[in-house]
Amino acid sequence: MALSDSFLWGGALAANQAEGAWREGGRGPAVSDIAKYRPNVDPREYAIHHAHTVESITAAMADDDETYYPKRRGIDFYHRYPEDLALFAEMGFTVLRVSIAWTRLYPTGEETEPNEEGIAFYEGLFTQMRRLGIEPLVTLSHYDPPLALALKNNCWVDRGTIALFERFARTCFERFGHLVKLWLSFNEIDGIVRHPLTSGGIIEETVEGSILQACYTALHHQFVASASVTRMLHEMWPESQMGCMLTMLKTYPLTCHPDDIAATQAKDRLLYLCTDVQAGGAYPRLALNALARQGVEIPFAEGDAELLREHPVDFISLSYYMTLAESVDPDAERTPGNTVLGVKNPYLESSEWGWQIDPVGLRISLIDLYDRYGKPLFIVENGLGMRDELTAEGRIHDPYRIDYFRAHFREMIRAVDEGVELMGYTSWAPIDIISASSSQISKRYGFIHVDLDDLGRGSGERRRKDSFWWYQRVIATNGADLG
Residue closer to ligand BGP, measured from CB, 260 or 432: 432
Catalytic positions, written as ranges = 381
In the three-class reduction of DSSP (H, G, I as helix; E, B as strand; rest coil), residue 229 is classed as: helix
Residue closer to ligand BGP, measured from CB, 197 or 416: 197
Task: Determine, following the binding rule CB under 6 A, whether residue 188 of this chain makes contact with ligand BGP.
Answer: yes
Query: CA-CA distance, 47 to 344, in Å (whole number)?
Result: 14
Task: Determine, following the binding rule CB under 6 A, whether residue 443 of this chain makes contact with ligand BGP.
Answer: yes
Task: Determine, following the binding rule CB under 6 A, whether residue 381 of this chain makes contact with ligand BGP.
Answer: yes
Contact stretch for ligand BGP (CB under 6 A) within 207-215, 303-311, 386-394, 433-441: 433-441
Query: CA-CA distance, 132 to 125, in Å (whole number)?
Result: 11
Task: Determine, following the binding rule CB under 6 A, whether residue 432 of this chain makes contact with ligand BGP.
Answer: no
Query: CA-CA distance, 416 to 412, in Å (whole number)?
Result: 6
Task: Answer yes or no: are the C-beta atoms of 448 and 464 closer than 8 Å.
Answer: yes
Which residues are registered as beta bridge partners of 136? Answer: 96
CA torsion sign, 25 to 228 to 377 to 267?
Answer: positive
CA torsion sign, 173 to 78 to 339 to 404?
Answer: positive
Task: Determine, following the binding rule CB under 6 A, whether residue 139 of this chain makes contact with ligand BGP.
Answer: no
Task: Determine, following the binding rule CB under 6 A, whether residue 365 of this chain makes contact with ligand BGP.
Answer: no
Task: Answer yes or no: are the C-beta atoms of 244 and 186 closer than 8 Å.
Answer: yes
Q: Which residues, other chains included, contact 330 with Cβ-Cβ below 8 Å and sequence gap of 6+? A: none
**Can you give the length of the chain in residues?**
483
Task: Determine, following the binding rule CB under 6 A, whether residue 338 of this chain makes contact with ligand BGP.
Answer: yes
**Which listed residue (319, 345, 426, 467) binds ligand BGP by CB under 6 A?**
319
Which residues are registered as beta bridge partners of 5? Answer: none
Task: Determine, following the binding rule CB under 6 A, whether residue 18 of this chain makes contact with ligand BGP.
Answer: no
Residue closer to ligand BGP, measured from CB, 87 or 245: 245
Task: Determine, following the binding rule CB under 6 A, whether residue 197 of this chain makes contact with ligand BGP.
Answer: no
Least separation in angstroms between CB 302 and ligand BGP: 33
Residue closer to ligand BGP, measured from CB, 134 or 380: 380
CA distances in angstroms from 243 to 70, 279, 317, 435, listed in the order given? 29, 9, 6, 24
Task: Determine, following the binding rule CB under 6 A, whether residue 428 of this chain makes contact with ligand BGP.
Answer: yes
Residue closer to ligand BGP, measured from CB, 350 or 478: 350
What is the Cα 170 distance to its own chain's centre?
A: 22
Least separation in angstroms between CB 190 and ligand BGP: 10
Which residues contact ligand BGP by CB under 6 A?
14, 17, 143, 187-188, 247, 319, 338, 381, 385, 428, 435-438, 443
